[in-house]
Amino acid sequence: MKKSTLAILGIVVIVGIAAVALVMMSNAENEKITYNYETKEASSFNYTISGYTYTETPSAGNKYIIAHIVVKNESYSKGFTPSLGIFKLKCSNNNSYSYDIDTIYYSSKSSSLYDLTLGTGSSYDFYIVYEVPIGTTATGMDIAYTYSPYSLISMDGSLSIPTWVYPS
């Protein structure tokens, strides 16, 4: 009698653990973050700090490709903090490029990412400046990291991109 009670109790515990694991996996599969982007090319851009206007130009033989990105936390329950390093620009020369430090001058929307956490349903748009060789064109975007939550990020071409505020 005791052995059969223990066996039944053991089965109940195992089934319970399996059910909890399935629910957790199901929730993780339903969590997602989406993005969309568009790009423009620029040989330089202007920015103003404390009333002074400055012009940024790329190194000789290079140009800027500026990506306007919108990210939406569709259903990631822990909140999502975007960062500039997530998005790598794929180009026609078969290389991928990380953001250029000039991004922080281009738009205050980009430099304020570090203080931002997107709750479920929230979205945010920002700009990333990439410096690439002249003659190169943008062909896509890569997500730089494969671990969670970055593994939840996917391209959604239907996600609306707000009107460009930059370049000037």
pTM listed for this prediction: 0.78
The pLDDT score that the predictor gives to residue 99 is 92
157 touches 139 (CB < 8 A): no
pLDDT for residue 110 is more than 60: yes
Q: Report the b/e string of 78-87 with b at 16+ CB within 10 A.
A: eebebebebb
Which pair of tokens denotes residue 168? 């000037």
Q: Give the model confidence (pLDDT) of 31-57 as tens digits.
A: 999 999 999 999 998 888 888 999 999
The pLDDT score that the predictor gives to residue 166 is 62
Q: Report angle CA 142, 143, 148 to the nearest 5 degrees.
A: 160
